[in-house]
A and B are shown apart, each in its own frame.
Chain A
Amino acid sequence: MTSRDFLQQLQDSTLGVALSESIYMYPLVEGLHLISLVFSFGLILLIDLRLIGLFLPKAPVSEILNKLRPWLSGGFLVTFSTGFLLVFVNGPSLVNTWVFPLKLLLIVFAGLNAIWFEYKFGRHAKQWNGQTPKGAKVAGWVSLTTWSLVIVCGRLIPYMNGH
């Protein structure tokens, strides 16, 4: 089964049809996808800026990570689940161009970067003694760049795929 067939099946599914037929569901889901970005991408961005040293330099990274994590995770939960629903609505046209596959690839990359950061640096952040390790700074830059590109690709989807 090709990715096009798979996306067609999603679009033809009960959920896909219901989402497409409702007047209110699509704007609601898309609106939530955008608004939840403030919690997901927005808070990640602030953490990245802290790692780079451009935001709240006097606040310990461990504290920022711990205190923002629940809000950040909640945000990602909404962003991901609404994104998942949008795939049902948009169907095979999503693979008309490279932009959506690239977005998914970038999300995977950003996710791996986050896992690497957390495993290698984040969980020891209490022992940094005010000095951000070089690798953690690199992870911050990578995260900042990758997630920004994810947003750019996401915004390009309607232009590139003819919605």
Chain B
Amino acid sequence: MSTQPFFQALQNTQLAISIGQSNHLYGVLAQMFHIAGLILILAPLLVVNLRLLGAGLTNQPVTYLVKATNPLIWTGFVFISLSGFFMFSPSAALYYPNPAFWLKFQLLGLALILQFTLYRKVTRTETPNRSLATLTALASLLLWFGVAIAGRAIGYVAA
């Protein structure tokens, strides 16, 4: 099954239809949780990446920052993915032709790959390779903020 029929099929599922027919207040609530998730993911990542760049909380060990920020990021991830599904599924076919939507998920894919490879590697030690840490932090900030910006653009380039 190619992507477009898949989007259409998702939109036609009972779950997506029920979400679409639910009270609009839930839609507003989903928007709130999406912003809360954005803050809970990006603010902790900002603090860790600044630290990798030698700014911000420079007196704290990187491993301690990562340990303390993980619960916030995971909470944010639950918020943002559930609320995202809630907003996306009832109008999946509408998102299909939207270039900002695709850009967002391409950037998200890259951001996640970086998160579980280089980011994990340089935040596991107190003495990572300086230039590798800098490169990772810059790429991480660029990609994650890119996801947010592309996400915001979805509403403006609506087809």
Given contacts A56-B57, A63-B59, A152-B32, 20 further A-B contacts (CB under 8 A): A27-B153, A31-B153, A35-B145, A35-B149, A38-B38, A38-B42, A38-B46, A38-B145, A41-B39, A42-B42, A49-B72, A55-B68, A55-B72, A59-B57, A67-B58, A68-B56, A71-B46, A151-B36, A151-B39, A155-B35
15 A-B pairs whose Cβ atoms sit less than 8 Å apart in the complex = A27-B152, A34-B35, A34-B148, A37-B39, A41-B43, A42-B43, A43-B43, A43-B46, A45-B43, A46-B44, A56-B64, A63-B59, A71-B46, A71-B50, A156-B28
* Residues of chain B at the chain A interface (Cβ within 8 Å): 28, 31-32, 35-36, 38-39, 42-44, 46-47, 50, 55-60, 64-65, 68, 72, 145, 148-149, 152-153, 156
Q: Which interface class (under 10, 10 to 19, 20 to 34, 35 or more) fits A? A: 20 to 34
A63-B59, A68-B57 as given contacts; A155 in contact with B156, CB under 8 Å: no
Which residues on A sit within 8 Å (CB–CB) of B148? 34-35, 38
Do residues A155 and B59 form an inter-chain contact, with CB atoms below 8 A? Answer: no
* Residues of chain A at the chain B interface (Cβ within 8 Å): 27, 30-31, 34-35, 37-39, 41-43, 45-46, 49, 55-56, 58-59, 63-64, 67-68, 71, 151-152, 155-156, 159
Q: Distance in Å from the Cβ of B100 to the closest Cβ of chain A?
A: 10
With A and B bound together, what is the CA distance between A10 and B47 in angstroms? 37
Do residues A45 and B35 form an inter-chain contact, with CB atoms below 8 A? Answer: no
Q: Which of B47, B55, B152 contacts A31 (CB 8 A)?
A: B152
Main secondary structure, interface of B, reads helix
**A49 closest partner in B (C-beta):** B72
Which residues on B sit within 8 Å (CB–CB) of A71? 46, 50, 55-56
With A and B bound together, what is the CA distance between A92 and B86 in angstroms? 33
Which residues on B sit within 8 Å (CB–CB) of A59? 57, 59-60, 64
Which residues on A sit within 8 Å (CB–CB) of B44? 46
Interface pairs A-B: 8 shortest CB-CB = A42-B43, A38-B42, A27-B156, A42-B39, A56-B68, A31-B152, A67-B57, A59-B60
